[in-house]
Amino acid sequence: MPKILRVNLQSQEITSEEITPAHPYMFFAGRSLSSKIIAEEVPPKTDPLGRKNKLIFATGFLTGTPCPNSGRISIGAKSPLTGGIKESNVGGRAPALLGRHDIRAIICENVAENWLLLLVEPAGNIKIIPCEDLQSKNNYELSIILRERYGKNCGIFSIGIAGEKCLKSASIASIDMEGYPSRHAGRGGMGTVMGSKKLKAIVVQPPEKTKITYSDVKTFRTVAKTWGKALYAAKRSFSKFGTLIGLTTMNSLNALPTQNYRRGSFQDVDKISAESLYDFILENNGRNGIPCSPGCVIKCSNLLKNAKGEHITSSLEYETVALNGSNLLINSIEKLAEIDHVCDDLGVDTIEMGNAVGVFMETGKIQWGDADRVIDLIKGIATDNPDSLIVAQGAFQTGLHFNISRVAHVKQQGLPGYDPRSFKGMGVTFITSPMGGDHTAGSAIANRNPYPDRSYGKVYEGEHKVVLSKELQIFTMIHDAVGQCFFVGPTYESVPLLIQLLNARYGWNLTPEELIDWSKSWILLERNFNDVEGLPAVDNLPQFMLMEQLEDNPDRKWDVSAEELNDYWKNF
């Protein structure tokens, strides 16, 4: 039976509660569970870095099972960036191990007096271990030490020095299948909250045997296997080119952030394209087609080496390249890989940092395209370089400090790699989602239709984009609650398959319509938390995006109906 572990980091008291059928959190998991706990247990107006905030690691309903691509976890807290409810999900090795322990959530409460780590042992019990010796270790060195201590097959969540310093762009690293700290819960400053609690790492050792049980294991395995084979066949291009496969498409649609969102296309796009990445990997004996977590059949991760055969980074992804490449006018795959490595090591979100560095470049202190100076700026976080520390507080704070108004953000969170003047549905997601400027809340990219029989218009047309975003947000929440990567496809077509798997595992009689209604209620729960915090349910894009047209396509401007946006939450 799933259980919730509560860890009081100050008193070092640990309690365990089983999620019985009568438990109030029985029908919550992943993002829905982390948000439920925050909404019910974090008082209004709580300081995100204070004792009353809680940091929740919540596995999905199917995390750790053979369901394809279900090796993910939701990490939630009140965000130091947005000031509202926040969830950031991540793969890697640890989420599936927690799922196999049948641990539905670890709730980290209060603040430790000294640096600690949590160890989930093979029997499933959890220990609090002092780790002052690990303070000031960054993620790469830390992962080597912890794997030597607790076994090469353990999973690890950790923070680098940026999290220790409570810088608002701080992420939480999750080691990948190779043991590198390359997977990151980056959005919303979850690493900042972890650092504020003096929690350096959570280490998860493999269970003695899986504790997951099934009501109908035969049906579960049959459905999971069939679905996995179909996904594997359908997503082969992702395995070859990774998430960067969409970059040239974004460029052709004038949606690729370029020079701090002045343009939607980059003249050197071919130098940072998926094809260039693929060639770089082949030339330097890197690898592609790597799963980011157990059970991943899409395998969109990669591993990059330099000409000397030295590891640079593990998985160079679209968002990192868009925000640190075209957005900063950097045109080198190798330099972008180095930026990714430094961010992963220090533990900062590459999306937030790309935005913040773009704002910093507006001051003229670094020239556009100067990759080496950008790398030095990020490295300066470790040495307390004043400019570096400001930039690591995020794009919004960087703009305030340097009196720069050109900041691409919603709810003080830097926007990801899609210009909303060309991708109107994505813009609606940014301003309506309780998560703020976060594409993972409802990724309205090209050719993603929630209902295949419906037409939502071209991506750069304002019509139908409120409906498109709303439907994508609902289906994305379902995947987040299940613990499944949304690259599977946040559409109605996935829901009947998930229903079969949920019913086969838990013995439920859930219908697709009921699951969709659950998802709506979970999103409303998040919106209501933000309402109490005084955050708008329908926000807005930054002023420059409302006023400016794209320099390379004057027809692209924000024109989604304000009236339709204001009605977003009616009859949700």
Domain boundaries, the chain: 3-204, 236-414, 424-566
| 387 contacts 365 by C-beta, under 8 angstroms | yes
Contacting residues for 302 by C-beta, under 8 A, at least 6 apart: 242, 277, 281, 286, 287, 288, 289, 290, 314, 315, 316
The helix or strand, by DSSP H or E, that contains position 118, with its residue range, turns out to be strand 116-120
Domain 236-414, classified CATH 1.10.569.10, yes or no:
yes
The helix or strand, by DSSP H or E, that contains position 172, with its residue range, turns out to be strand 172-174
Q: What are the backbone angles phi and psi of residue 374, rounded to the nearest 5°?
A: -65, -45
What is the pLDDT at residue 412?
98
What is the pLDDT at residue 238?
82
What's the CA gap between 77 and 51, in Å, rounded? 12
CB-CB neighbours of 353 under 10 Å: 32
What is the pLDDT at residue 571?
85
What is the pLDDT at residue 89?
96
Residues linked to residue 96 through DSSP beta bridges, in sequence order? none
What is the pLDDT at residue 201?
98
Same fold, 3-204 and 236-414: no
CA-nearest of 370, 365, 442 to 404 is: 365
pLDDT in tens, 128-170: 999 999 999 999 999 999 999 999 999 999 999 999 999 999 9
Instruction: Name the residue with tokens 């976080």.
Output: 381
What is the pLDDT at residue 446?
73
- Among 1.10.3720.10, 3.30.1370.60, 1.10.599.10, 3.30.390.10, name the CATH number for the domain at 424-566: 1.10.599.10
What is the pLDDT at residue 448?
75
What is the pLDDT at residue 568?
95
CA-nearest of 559, 506, 535 to 21 is: 506
What's the CA gap between 545 and 551, in Å, rounded? 12
What is the pLDDT at residue 326?
98
pLDDT in tens, 383-410: 999 999 999 999 999 999 999 999 999 9
pTM of structure: 0.98
What is the pLDDT at residue 280?
97
CATH class of 3-204: alpha beta
> What residue ranges of the chain have pLDDT lower than 70?
none
What is the pLDDT at residue 449?
86
What's the CA gap between 305 and 308, in Å, rounded? 8
CA-nearest of 434, 446, 416, 459 to 568 is: 434
pLDDT in tens, 89-105: 999 999 999 999 999 99
CA-nearest of 442, 453, 443, 520 to 493 is: 453
